[in-house]
Structure 1
Amino acid sequence: MEAQKTTQLLQTQQQVPQSQRHEMIITLIKQEGFVTTEGLVQHFNVTPQTIRRDLNELDLQGKITRHHGGAGLPNSSIENTQYSERKHHLSAEKDRIAIELVKYIPNNSSLFIDIGTSTESVARALVNHRNLKVVTNNLHVASILLAREDFTVIIAGGEVRNRDGGIIGEATRDFISQFRMDFAITGISGIDMDGTLLDFDYHEVRVAQAMMSNARKTLTIADHSKFGRSAMIRLGHVADIDTLFTDAQPPLPLMEQLKLGQTKVVVC
């Protein structure tokens, strides 16, 4: 039986040349953001050793970023993608996650909502709630929620970024620190396989940390493309959040960190 399986794998490898498989792997990573070694083994019906060699070669060429248990996009760790691109990237997945997340927020709650296209999806999903009190540093979020007359929306002071309507700075952090809210709704640019939460802007991170510190619970929304994605600034660790809402099962190394941190994972 084992010999038969080996023969089948060798036949499959012969049918798909390495160069073609490399291109297919790159395409899958561009579509998914992160792929696991196990998933690629099943997809191509080849041995784990073959996939590991493929990933190592592609990583050396700078076409992907190799991680323990899989691979992701070769993203810059110092600069995020443009807001217009992020707004449309995996928008359906973000909306689906947001619809599930808001089920965990009762009416009459108070909450912080952070900067990001994912948190804007959460704001859109909240419009059917009642009597919410929201403090946000995101002008787009405020604009969405102002449609509800029974919502109280408070916009944090500070420097407004033209590119995405985010409000940042020490004044913003100080303003946030004056409140104690039921929930902090946060997004994240990347989650390392060791559970580190990563972002690109130091000032934005400082505000997000203040929200998490001054909320009773932190609910974080992150689509699967954030798993293994690099960014330069450390925001915290998955142990600092109460529930992670996502659209795909996190890779095994990250799941282990989530379990160790007693962070609940909701896959939508």
Structure 2
Amino acid sequence: MSLTYEDRRSTILKQLDMEGKVQVHLLSAEFNVSTETVRRDLDRLEKEGKLRKVYGGAVKVRSDRVEPPFLKRAQMMQREKASIGKLAASLIGEGETVILDNGTTTIEILGHLRNRPDVTLITHSVPILAAAMDTFAGKIIFAGGEINRHYQAATGALTDQLLDQFKVNKAFISVGGISLVDGITDYHLDEAVLSRKIMQRAEESILVADHTKFGVTTFARVSKLEEVSMVITDPGCPRDWIDSVEALGIEMRISS
């Protein structure tokens, strides 16, 4: 019995979400239909705005090429980010030193460290620094440098050199996208370079990301997905993604 268009459509979209691309000849063999049928399917999905056809197949549409400003991002997925932040904070042990990457998910960790004077916090994020000075009781180290007003963070060679001076227990990383093919990516090259540096300076790198980041590839690569030891996300993360990440030997934690 041959698959209906709706069945093929569902499979194509699922493969795009997980892998970022599909190939005509592989879909033809999988569905047991002609390559012409697959191309017609891809034509229909392209008209729906679900994909972009390329030679030999199709790739996932990248609709969010420009990252929204920090304040706007802070208002997106608020409940999910808050629950992720709570779970992440619970993993910080007594007396540990941690780095919080610049991001609207990592800043949620701070609210759960109010009564943790034993913790040392390092960050290059201006919003995280400002919030920490108001609410955090532990030691604060700002990895300063030239302040980028758009990122609201210190960036550049001086920040990179300052981060080289530290070795920390845990780094909490916030990124633009998570892909099985392209790894962890960010919207800005400078931010991606610093996130990579932060990971290098930590004994354990923990990725904090709400479910909308999965299956997304943005401009600049941070690292392979396998280079983090844990991913913390919210219950909206699809089961297929949880299974795929765990298959790479990465621990998945789901917030409540």
- TM category, shorter: 0.7 to 0.9
Q: Could you say what the CA RMSD is over the residues aligned between the two structures, in angstroms? A: 3.3
Where does 1:218-233 land on structure 2 (aligned, <5 Å)?
218-233=205-220
Matched residue, 1:109: 96
Q: Pick from 47, 57, 63: which aligns with 1:61?
A: 47
Conserved in 2, the CA contact under 8 Å of 1:109 and 1:133?
A: yes
- Pick the aligned partner of 2:63 from 38, 56, 75: 75
CA distance in 1, matches of 2:77, 2:44: 24
In structure 2, C-alpha distance between the alignment counterparts of 1:144 and 1:92, rounded to whole Å: 19
Picking from 209, 214, 224, the partner of 2:201 is 214
Matches within 5 A, 1:169-184: 169-184=156-171
Could you tell me which residue of structure 2 aligns to residue 204 of structure 1? 191
Q: Number of paired residues?
A: 223
C-alpha contact 1:219 1:242 (8 A) present in aligned 2:
yes
Structure 2 length-normalised TM: 0.75
CA distance in 2, matches of 1:154, 1:205: 21
Residue in 2 aligned with 1:134?
121
Q: How far has the Cα of 1:186 moved from its partner?
A: 0.8
Deviating above 6 A after TM superposition, structure 1's stretches of 4 or more consecutive aligned residues are 52-55
Residue identity over aligned pairs, in percent, reads 19
2:104 matches 1:145: no
Name 1:263's counterpart in structure 2.
250
Residue pair 1:195, 1:258 contacting (<8 A) in 2 also: no
The amino acid of 1:205's aligned partner reads A
The 3 A distance-change label for structure 1 pair 210 and 122 is same
What SS does structure 2 have at the residue aligned with 1:146? helix
Distance in 2, matches of 1:62 and 1:167, equals: 41
Letter in structure 2 aligned against 1:217: E
Q: TM-score, normalised by structure 1?
A: 0.72
**Aligned partners of 2:217 and 2:136: how far apart in 1?**
40
Alpha-carbon offset, residue 108 of structure 1: 1.6
What are structure 2's unaligned runs of at least 5 residues?
Answer: 11-15, 19-30, 32-37, 53-58
Mapping 1:152-167, distance limit 5 Å: 152-167=139-154
In 2, Cα distance between the equivalents of 1:65 and 1:158?
40
1:184-224 deviations in Å (ceiling 9; x for gaps) = 11111001133610111111111111111111111110000
The one-letter amino acid paired with 1:98 is G
Aligned-partner SS, 1:147: helix
| Cα shift at 1:105 | 0.6
